[in-house]
Amino acid sequence: MVWFLRPEMLLQTILAVPSAVPPSIQASNGSFSNVTLSYGQYQGTNLPGNVTEFLGVRYANTPQRFSASGPPTPFTEVIQATQYGPGCQGSGSQLSPGNSEDCLFADIYTPTAAIQSDSTAKLPVFVFIQGGGLTDTLGRFNGTGLLSASNLSIITVTFTYRSGPFGFLASREVLANGTLNAGLLDQLQLLQWVKQEITHFGGDASRVTLGGQSAGAGCALNHLTANETMNSGLFQAAILQSTSSPPVRQVSEQQFQYDNLVNATQCSGQDTLACLRGLTTDQLLAGSFINPYPGNTGVPVFGWHIVVDGIYVNDSPLSSLANGKVSNVPIVIGSVTDEGTVFTPRNISNSVEATAFIKNNYPNVTQAQLDNYIQLYNFGLPSSNYWLKASSSYGETRYICPSIYISSYVPTWNYRYNISTADQIASLDGASHGSDLSAIWAPTYGSSDQIALLQGPANQTLQWIQGYWISFIQTYNPNINRILGSPDWPVWTASYRFVFNVTGSGTESVDQAQCSRCNYLGSIEPSLEQ
């Protein structure tokens, strides 16, 4: 498998066409605005800057454990959409305050005028899937900054979805009497909700960009390569940030996790699934800790996986790409420079521990393939810092090389985010996983030093990044409406991508050593199950 010779493909610019869906009549009393959806009415808050937020809007019914969600249940009262809904928790020994299994809620940020207008012209929509390693979805992404940067020309939708055992438990028992990939199907339900309801918020359901970061981007990639008959027309473009590419496993490979959960919760009996359904949330959480893969001694960084279900997910995303089974939509994709630093144990001190770390996360990698890892990442050479080598190998295996692989098969705009704070540099974390989120969701997301950097020395780059993202959401091309003076961002070709620095951003050639490593990782994709 060669990653850097992609088929000749032309990416056509898709013209934005106003929606022909009749508007719904909305109401506003100055401080609040109401929307009437097909199943009930919500009241949102009018914020300074002419943005209205609707928090905690149900996009699905109250889910049944280990089963697919469905449309929301109708109601008659006006619900105040002024507070976030409960978070979806998938880890920890007990349920944290503010979290619940009843957690399928969306947050919508829209220009106030878009709600109050009776115009048939609707705005493009950015649906963002948050990450969390399929373990928790608790983050809150405030869209006011992005709407302001867009001059109130887009709508953002963020949401929570089931994670951990509630969203990704897989076994023979779940296959027979439940729903595999329930958390992924929650996302599909959200996209179906957007298709039906976003017009009431002023959005155009035919102009949806599906975005995500980390596990959220990995989920978005699975939607791109899933059974297209189930998601046709639900999104027209995609933005994939630090696309997480853990193994997409067979149900039989995840049976051990189910069996461990049954044993930990003392649910062994004739109907173990019924027993698990009867546990309290705390009881289920207490037994759902991550275990090593069979034959391994160390636990993986993340233990919950999307599995091949034969209905929506028929193969791993990268195998699907190689076979041409992918939605034909424009894509922005990229990674940060130092993807692996925050995940790699700092106490790795030799080549044996470094290769064991890879094996613990990719259990089907063979010894011969691990020997090649030793050569590729110089694990066998004396080093004062094996941690850096291990973090480089993990970051490239899980995040960086898959983004390059994807760009080699379908037309994309590819980027590398290379902005790090003084503290990140001093700690050797560098431009670490998640750093680019503060640029997209500024100024309401990120650490104080990240925000200070983006509002100070890197402010021009911040404006450029948001300009590219907004242009892509509006036109499916990051260049058409980009910030005046920002460089043209070419489609990936011959291993050239865009790099975002504090200053001096522009096109760069991918390092040839990294190309060689990524080519090798592409050749062992069946073992990586990506």
Residue 529 pLDDT: 87
> Has residue 92 got a pLDDT over 90?
no
pTM: 0.92
- The gap from C-alpha 351 to its chain's centroid, in whole angstroms, comes to 32
> Has residue 17 got a pLDDT over 50?
no
Q: Which two tokens stand for residue 499?
A: 């790099």
Q: How confident is the model at residue 19 (pLDDT cuts 50, 70, 90)?
A: very low
> Has residue 472 got a pLDDT over 80?
yes
Average pLDDT, integer, range 496-520: 94
Task: Give the contacts of 522 (CB within 8 A, at least 6 positions apart).
Answer: 1, 2, 3, 401, 405
Active-site residue, 31 included: no
CB 147 within 8 A of CB 123: no
Q: How far is CA 184 from CA 220, 305, 309, 444, in A?
A: 9, 10, 11, 27
Least confident range from 81-90, 194-203, 377-386: namely: 377-386
First to last CA, the chain: 14
Q: Is the dihedral of CA 494, 499, 504, 510 positive or negative?
A: negative
Catalytic pick from 214, 320, 432, 471?
214
> Has residue 23 got a pLDDT over 60?
no
> Has residue 14 got a pLDDT over 70?
no
Q: What is the mean pLDDT of the chain?
A: 91
Residue 123 pLDDT: 98
Q: How confident is the model at residue 383 (pLDDT cuts 50, 70, 90)?
A: low
**Topology adopted by domain 337-530:** Rossmann fold (3.40.50)
Residue 12 pLDDT: 31
Q: Where in the chain do CATH 3.40.50.1820 domains reside?
A: 32-329, 337-530
CB 396 within 8 A of CB 376: no
> Going by CATH, does the domain composed of 32-329 fall within 3.40.50.1820?
yes
Question: Can you give the length of the chain in residues?
Answer: 530
Average pLDDT, integer, range 377-396: 86
The rounded distance, in Å, linking the Cα atoms of 437 and 469 is 12
Average pLDDT, integer, range 218-229: 96
Q: Give the pLDDT confidence of 100-136 residue by residue, as tens digits.
A: 999 999 999 999 999 987 777 899 999 999 999 999 8
